[in-house]
Amino acid sequence: MKSNPASSKPSFTVGIETSCDDTGVGLVCNARGRPRPVLNLVRSQEAVHAKHGGIVPELASRHHLEDLGDLLELAMKEAGISWRNLACVGVTRGPGLVGSLLVGVSAAKAISYSLGIPLIGINHLEAHLLTPFLMATPPAFPYVALIASGGHTELILAKALGDYDRLGRTRDDAAGEAFDKVGRLMGLGYPAGQAMDDLSRRGKRNVLKLPVADTGPYEFSFSGLKTAARQMLEKRPPRKKADFAAAFQEAVVTPLVGKSVAAALDHRAKALVVSGGVASNFRLRKLLTARAALLKRAGCRLLVPPPAWCTDNGLMVAAAAFLYFTANHPSDSELDADPSLDL
């Protein structure tokens, strides 16, 4: 999307995301105190890591280093703005791979220092959960957010900007990790979430029964499911891969949907937000949409941002930085990468 080029007033916030294997640069502008999405550029390293069957940290940081400068230049060009139009720079400072995070943090520090603009360090999970502020009608607090990605599966109660309670999380594997590991056993490559999703559309989910873990009300567990799936694949390989994919997907998304909806209703949330790479899953979206009317009757809106905003990207980081910047958060000029940063 092109924005209005360069009035001399700096009104854009740039967001940089390099926590894992996607290099992301996003831009938002100030639309009467709200972050309006301007542009979202992501350079994926999927092809680089696919041949290794998982992320190789050294390769990830090297590619961020090669790509980030180009992507920043491209962002300015595509948005039709100059560096002087930037009012603030935001960057993911954790959690993630330390070498990858450092590339983004160093670049953001250089931008902040050379332009004399504030630098805001952003928690990657918080960026996911603030993503719906980019939508036409943003959520009101309190809201419940499910973040389901390759590294995280978390249910969070967002009470205000910066004020979050973790309601539950996975006890072992993340939902995306479960898709990736089982998909790899099925020969679907890495990452396998989208391929499992595509394959599932041709399968019958009720032909096979896979176990759904019995955990606490807002907790998840996918390692038992993963083991059961592996044993089934080894001992009694399914006649149709699509049926197996559909059954496996059902076993992952059923607790994600059931527990998020329950958490939203239990906490009288004004919205239920779903984000992270797994939020692009077709079946997950379908099951959630089927519960939208029930949620609405309880005064809760279902907000599922578009897939490009759910997977790792710089736009969500720009939005989060913008929200802190307009709330007068001081510049984090000394900020450091923190690979195990918590919410």
Which stretches of the chain bind Zn ion, using CB under 5 A?
149, 312
Least spacing, CB of residue 149 vs Zn ion, in Å: 4
To the nearest whole angstrom, how small is the minimum distance from the Cβ of residue 301 to ligand KG4? 22
Q: Which of 18, 40, 61, 311 binds ligand KG4 (CB under 6 A)?
A: 311
Place of tokens 């590619």: 63
Range 64-70 contact pairs with CB under 8 angstroms and sequence separation of 24 or more: 64/18, 64/23, 64/100, 64/103, 64/104, 65/103, 67/23, 67/43, 68/16, 68/18, 68/23, 68/25, 68/103, 68/104, 68/107, 69/107
If one asks whether residue 151 binds ligand KG4 (CB under 6 A), the answer comes out as yes
- The smaller minimum CB distance to ligand KG4, of residues 14 and 199, is found at 199
Tokens linked to 258: 């059931």
Which of these ranges, 3-11, 87-95, 185-193, 225-233, lies near ligand KG4 under the rule CB under 6 A? Answer: 185-193
Q: Which residues contact 80 (CB under 8 A, 6 or more apart)?
A: 2, 3, 4, 5, 6
Of these, 150, 168, 224, 305, which contacts ligand KG4 (CB under 6 A)?
Answer: 150
Nearest 10 degrees: CA dihedral of 99, 104, 109, 112?
180
237 is written with which tokens? 């390989």
Collapse the DSSP code of 190 into the 3-class scheme (helix H, G, I; strand E, B; otherwise coil) and give the result: coil
By CB under 6 A, tell whether 278 contacts ligand KG4.
yes
Answer for which of 277, 300, 301, 320 binds ligand KG4 (CB under 6 A) is 277
Q: Which of 197, 243, 250, 332 binds ligand KG4 (CB under 6 A)?
A: 197
Task: Please enumerate in sequence order all residues whose Cβ is within 8 A of that of 59, keeping only pairs 6 or more positions apart, or say none.
Answer: 45, 48, 49, 52
- Binding of ligand KG4 at residue 156 (CB under 6 A)? no
Dig out the tokens for 341 from the structure. Answer: 């940063």
Span from 34-42, 213-221, 255-263, 278-286 in contact with ligand KG4 (CB under 6 A): 278-286
305 binds ligand KG4 (CB under 6 A): no
Nearer to Zn ion, 111 or 279 (CB): 279
Least distance to Zn ion from the beta carbon of 310, Å?
9
